[in-house]
Structure formats: C-alpha cells, structure tokens
Structure 1
Amino acid sequence: MTATAPAAAAAAAALPGRGRNLGLALLAFAVTFWAWNIIGPIGVRYAEDLDLTPTQLSMVIATPVLVGSAGRIVTGALTDRFGGRVMFTTLTAVSAVPVLLVLWAGEAGSYVLLLVFGFILGIAGTTFAVGIPFVNAWYEPRKRGFATGLFGAGMGGTALSSFFTPRMVTSFGYATTHVIIAIALLVVAAIVWFGMRDSPLWKPNRDRVLPKLEASARLTVTWQMAFLYAVTFGGFVAFSTYLPTYLKEVYGFGLADAGARTAGFAIAAVIARPLGGWLSDRFGPAVILSVSLGGAAVMAVVIALKPPPELLAGTSFVLMAVFLGLGTGAVFTWVAQKAPAENVGSVTGIVGAAGGFGGYFPPLVMGATYDAQNHSYGVGLGLLCATAVIALIFTIYLARDRVGNTRRG
C-alpha cells in the first residue's frame, strides 16, 4: 500500500475514519490469530487421544505456522494490489474452512490429517501482512510506530485461544468449539466487508507480483528486519504455541491451567507491542530492540533454571513476554522508517514470513531436545539465549552503521 506523496502522507493526520479502520483491522487480525492457534492450546488432548510422542506433538503444533509464514509473502504483495478491505475479508472468511477440517481430523483421530489440515490452517496466520501496509496508509510516518504496534496487538488472538479454547472444549465439546470459531470468522468477515475502507491516500500497485517481490527481496532492509523479526516475533509465536505443553511437562499443570497461564503470557506481549512501537517513535527502534533482545537473553537463562511456581515462574514468563513484545513493535517501526513506501506491503510480507518461520522451528527443537528424565528444556532455552545475543549484536551494528552513514552524508 502506498501513499501518493510526502505531503499527502502528512495530511493523513486529518483523515476521518482511521481509528475505525484500525479497530476493524485489529479485530480481523485477532480472530484469525485465534483460529491460527487453535491446535496448540489443546495439544495435550491430541497427545493423549492419539498417543503422540513429544516430537509428533511438536509437529502438529508447529505446522500451521508454516503456511501462516510463507503465505505472508504473497498476501503482502496482493495487499499492495487489492487493498486491505478485500484481503482482510477474503482471508478471514476462508480461514473458517480449515478450522472445520481440523475438527474433522480430530474427530477421526488421524495424526496425518491433523498435519495436512493444520498446514492449511496456516492461511489464518497470513493476515498480519495485510494489516501493516493497510494501517501505514492511514497514518502519517511519525505515528506509524504506535499505530502498527496497536494493530499488532491483534496477536492477542493467541491469548484468547489459549484461555478460551480449552474451556470451550470442556464446556461445549470439541466439535461445537470449532463450529463456534468458524462462525465467528464468517461474522467478522462480513463486518469487515461492510465497515472497512482503504485509505483515500492508498493507490493500488498493479505491478506484477513476482517482480515486485523480487524487488523487495533485493532491498537490504528487508533481510535485516526479517532476521530481527524472526527472533522477536518468532520467539513469541514459539512460546505461545508450545507453552501449554511446556507447563504440563515441567510444572505438571492441567490443560485449562496451562492455557490460562499461556494467555497471561500472550496478553503481556500484546500490551508490550504497541508500547514498543510508541517508545520506538520517541527513542528510536534500535534502542528499544536492544533492550528487548538483551532482556530476552537473560530471561531465557532464568526460565531454563526452572524457577518455582507460581510467583517466580509466572514473573519470569511475563517478563519474557514483555521483552519479546517490545521487540516486535520496534522492528516494524524500523520497517516503516526504512522501507520504500511503494514496497511496504511486499517488505512486510517477507519480514512477517520470517517472523512466522522463526516461530516454526523452536517448538520442533524443544520437542527434540526435551530431557524427559529431568523434565527440562534447557538445551532449547540455551539456544534461544544465544540467538538473542547474536541478534542484539546485529542490532547494535545496524544502529552504529546508520549513525556512521548519517555523519558521512
């Protein structure tokens, strides 16, 4: 999505209806993220019913992330062409189908079908790449960090799923829960279609999708931000999807209790994301991202030491969520500052995909390195700490390089 000119972008401050459209984008993002994360919160049930190994369960939980990641590359580019209203409506409505297919796979007790339909469920995770360019077109550059951060709070759909999905399964039954979520997706799709409008400053980019993606892929900023988002958002996705299993294996919590605590983790990250965008607008994204990555590295070590429940362990996970949430907001403030306006959708798609891929592999690593004898995920958390430190060093390098270029210019 592109604005026509800098002067027009500045005029976005006076655009009527931008708050409503931001709210509708947030709603669509939240409900699709709920659907995207519908397997993880009841993964323990699948493990028991289908007698899955930790590695098999990790595959079931992580598979929806795969398409939700790769698909963002395409949806970002398509948003530049068709606009947020069309893309949000289409993706939200279509996501109802794999939710019902997952229901069928679960009722059939088929591990293979769960993997196949979980793969298709990833469609629900692609809406992030629609919202960033959509929101960018409504807001002037100096407020985009906060606006995109607020939109990004829709990742709280994972908190809704973690908290409500296990309880809905207990109260209404497995099948009814999936039907309710599918209906909610269709209702939100209708609300978006009738209530949402693209920014009057947005003009469709009718360039062919593949050349446009190639152009965005040649931008250095795309891959810089992709790496950083893979660490921050990937860490959030990995924790949000795998935490119910982690809490069961390490602390012995049941399905509902683990889901409630996972919801608390997600809520903390959701609150921190717009805060990260707002602070990045004021102090610069590199500063906030450095705080985020440094904090995440420290908390990975703390969590690996298995602090006792409830206060110490709960505080540790909440702090991890806050640091990761700050980082996700900071990265897309940096994207808004550095990406060319005509490539925002395509760059967002690639960066968003990297974030999703960043969330795909950690659950697999956690499952593969789990020490059943000691009930420990120490190896996986150690790798997370090392990755965060590398990303921190890279962030400091980018910040200093930018300052050096500014001085030389």
Structure 2
Amino acid sequence: MTEASAKPTSEITALPGRGLNLGLALLAFAITFWAWNLIAPLAVRYADGLGLDAAQTSVLIATPVLVGSLGRILTGALTDRFGGRTMFTILTAVSAVPVLLVMYAGQIGSYPLLIAFGFLLGIAGTTFAVGIPFVNAWYEPSKRGFATGLFGAGMGGTALSSFFTPRMVAWFGYTATHLIIAVALLVVAATVWVFMRDAPTWKPNTDRVMPKLVAASKLAVTWQMAFLYAVTFGGFVAFSTYLPTYLKEVYGFDLADAGARTAGFAIAAVISRPVGGWLSDRIGPAKVLGISLAGAAVMAVVIALKPPPELLAGSSFVLMAVFLGLGTGAVFTWVAQRAPAERVGTVTGIVGAAGGLGGFFPPLVMGATYNAETHSYTIGLLLLCATALAALAFTFLLARRDRARA
C-alpha cells in the first residue's frame, strides 16, 4: 500500500485546492478532446473535396482514435511517475503540433497526409489516462466516482468540436480555425503549468515503465474493466466521431446541422457520466452498468429501425448517449474501488486504451456494412446490440463473483 492510500479519509477530505485542480484537469481534458475530434466534424468536407468513399472516410475518422487509445497505456504509466501537472502540460502543448499539420494536409488536399497527421493527432486523446489518477489522488474513495465522472465530462470536448468546428470554418475559414485551436491548446498548457498542483498525498511511482505495465496486465481487474470500458466509452467515441457522417447518409443533414445534432448527443453523454459515477458511489457500479448496457442494447435496435426526424430520431440518439454516459462513469468508479492505489494510473492507461480502441473499430465496421441502396447501417447497429448484451452478461457474472468473495 502506498503512503497516499494509507492516509486517513479525514485528511484527504480536508485537502485544499482540489476543486481548482479538478477544474483545471477538466479544462485540459476538454480542449485536448476537442483537438482529438478535429477531423470527424469536417469528414463530410474532406469526403466531398477529395472524392472519398464510405470506407476511406471511416478510416480517416477512426485514425486519430487509434493513437489516442494505445497512447494512453504509456501516458497512464508515466503519470504514476511524473504526476498529472507535468503530463497535462506536456500533452496539451504538444497537441498543438498535429493540429497545425492536419491544417496543412487539408490545405493541400492530401488524403495520405491527413491519415498520417491524423495518426499524430491521436496524442491529444491520451490525456484521459492522466486525469483519472490525478483526480483520484485528490479525493477520498467515497467521492471518487463523482469526481472522476465530473472530470470525465471533459469528453464534452467532442461536443464542442462537433458543434463549433464546422461553424468556425464557416465564420473564420479553414486555416484560421485550426490556428485558433492550436493557440487555445498552448494557452491552456501554460495555465495548467502555472496553477495546477499534484495532490499532497500523491507520491511518484519510480518503477520502470515496462515492469509497471506488466504488473498491471497481470491484474484481473485490468482486463475486466478494459472490456466493459471498450463497450461503453468505445460506443460513445464511435457515435460522436461517426454521427455526422451517419446523419448525412441516413437523414440528409448538411455539415452544420449534423454537427449540431452530434453535439447534442455528446452533451447528453457528458452530463450523464458524472451522474453514473454519483449513482455508482451509492448503489454500486455493477447495477449502474447493468442499466447502461441494457439500455444501449435496446436503443441500438431502435436506431437501426431509422425512426423519423426530428423528435423520435433525436430522442433515440439522446437516450443512447445517456445510457453510454452512465456506463463510462460506472466503469471508472469500479476501477477506483478495485485497482491497487499505486497502480491506478497504469491500470487506467490500459483500460482507457481499451475504451479508445472500442471506438476505433465501430466506424470501420459502419463504413464496411453501410448499405448505399437503402442508406442503412442496420448490420453495424445490430452488432452493437449483441456486444452490449454480451457485456451485460459479463457484468452480472462479475458482480456475482464479487458478492461471493465478500
């Protein structure tokens, strides 16, 4: 047990400045997630300008997700060693570089460079693995579900990107939009460096990175939570990145209208994530996950039936977002309860990577199974339903095993 985990709860509760540091972590997470999702809201523009088919567009959308997922394994382990303040500052500042490179690729109309620089843009998506251990160190176990859920609301950066990026391109132009986002990243990085502090109870884990990753990979909780997060957060990432394309193909919305509706989806998930953490603190994460996965399975079938716009279709996507958001909050409450304190960052990195990878493959599946004649994604949505039901059964088995051990 680490020195941090040995501290009495009353001492952790009295830590001053935790609200400020949670807010700064939320800010850094939101702006980097905006950058991470920079390509998806403009995918329709790229597809039209470069003559891309559905498969090529889905690859373009999914590429940043890949690095943002796998990179979390390393950033989580490095956060255990260097702390959240250092890692947030570095990653937020470095993320400005691929934003500018993507801008250049778009200017010259190069699909290969968009793929290559979109790969680098995935760096911005790794900050999630920094924030979870950083916030955990500031809060006592009984409030970590809500605190990490509130931090996780920073995934609303995807909503900001979906809503504002197409509009900023219309208002200011393509180049200026990317410059504004790059400058915003640098400003936030400087703010974090000046004002953020690691929790007084946090102590660096100076073990070498690879042995830490190996140790975390040997924990059953790591892979159990990785699977569940791949379904819940992966579903959110898949919808929030692919939804503009989906809405265009199925319902005929233009870029701005599709972006606004995607933002609504992301906002619903953002709001429900801290609610999922809060409920998990009170009734247990397994029950909240059960509600989340059952609801997601039902809504996948409903959406596959192509409900008519606006009210029925909009309500269906919002409910899907709510269920997925509840699940993402519940998973990391479970991680905080079950993972060893000195391994939280490393476990978070692996679990977070699984969540990101869960969002990498669905856009590819959606693109591959799209029926151009009927404008339908039915096969992909039914596969989502089946996956959610499998995760639901696994959640029940895991909860029953925990009760038996207790």
* TM-score class normalised by the smaller sequence: over 0.9
Partner of 1:370: 370
8 Å CA contact retained: 1:366, 1:380: yes
Per-residue deviation, residues 243-301 of structure 1 (Å, max 9, x unmatched): 00000000000000000000000000000000000000000000000000000000000
- Any stretches of 5+ residues in structure 2 without a counterpart? none
Partner of 1:356: 356
Q: Give the 5 Å matches for 1:3-402.
A: 4-402=4-402
8 Å CA contact retained: 2:5, 2:341: no
Q: Secondary structure at the match of 2:4?
A: coil
8 Å CA contact retained: 1:2, 1:201: no
8 Å CA contact retained: 2:15, 2:138: yes
8 Å CA contact retained: 1:146, 1:278: yes
Using the TM superposition, give the Cα deviation of residue 5 of structure 1 relative to its aligned residue in structure 2, in angstroms. Answer: 3.5
Per-residue deviation, residues 128-152 of structure 1 (Å, max 9, x unmatched): 0000000000000000000000000
Per-residue deviation, residues 315-359 of structure 1 (Å, max 9, x unmatched): 000000000000000000000000000100000000000000000
Q: Secondary structure at the match of 2:234?
A: helix
Question: Could you list the runs of 4 or more consecutive aligned residues of structure 1 that deviate by over 2 angstroms after TM superposition?
Answer: 1-10
Using the TM superposition, give the Cα deviation of residue 2 of structure 1 relative to its aligned residue in structure 2, in angstroms. Answer: 5.9
Q: Percent identity?
A: 78
Distance 1:304 1:192 in 2: 43
8 Å CA contact retained: 1:100, 1:182: yes
Task: Output the amino acid matched with 1:218.
Answer: K
Per-residue deviation, residues 200-243 of structure 1 (Å, max 9, x unmatched): 00000000000001000000000000000000000000000000
Using the TM superposition, give the Cα deviation of residue 10 of structure 1 relative to its aligned residue in structure 2, in angstroms. Answer: 4.2
Q: Secondary structure at the match of 2:7?
A: helix
Per-residue deviation, residues 87-142 of structure 1 (Å, max 9, x unmatched): 00000000000000000000110110000000000000000000000000000000
8 Å CA contact retained: 1:27, 1:154: yes
CA RMSD of aligned residues (A): 0.9
Per-residue deviation, residues 174-193 of structure 1 (Å, max 9, x unmatched): 01000000000000000000
Distance 2:206 2:42 in 1: 42
Distance 2:214 2:5 in 1: 24
User: Under a length normalisation based on structure 1, what TM-score does the superposition of the two structures give?
Assistant: 0.98
Task: Output the amino acid matched with 2:270.
Answer: V
Task: Output the amino acid matched with 2:399.
Answer: A
Q: Secondary structure at the match of 2:107?
A: helix
8 Å CA contact retained: 2:30, 2:157: yes
Distance 1:218 1:22 in 2: 30
- Any stretches of 5+ residues in structure 1 without a counterpart? none
Instruction: Give the length in aligned residue pairs.
Output: 406
Distance 1:390 1:13 in 2: 38
Using the TM superposition, give the Cα deviation of residue 405 of structure 1 relative to its aligned residue in structure 2, in angstroms. Answer: 1.2
Using the TM superposition, give the Cα deviation of residue 12 of structure 1 relative to its aligned residue in structure 2, in angstroms. Answer: 1.1
User: Under a length normalisation based on structure 2, what TM-score does the superposition of the two structures give?
Assistant: 0.99
Aligned in 2, Cα 1:9/1:203: closer, same or farther, shift over 3 Å?
A: farther
Task: Output the amino acid matched with 1:240.
Answer: S
Distance 2:62 2:284 in 1: 33
Q: Secondary structure at the match of 1:144?
A: helix
8 Å CA contact retained: 1:3, 1:137: no
Task: Output the amino acid matched with 2:269.
Answer: A
Distance 1:332 1:306 in 2: 32
Task: Output the amino acid matched with 2:190.
Answer: A
Distance 2:365 2:250 in 1: 16
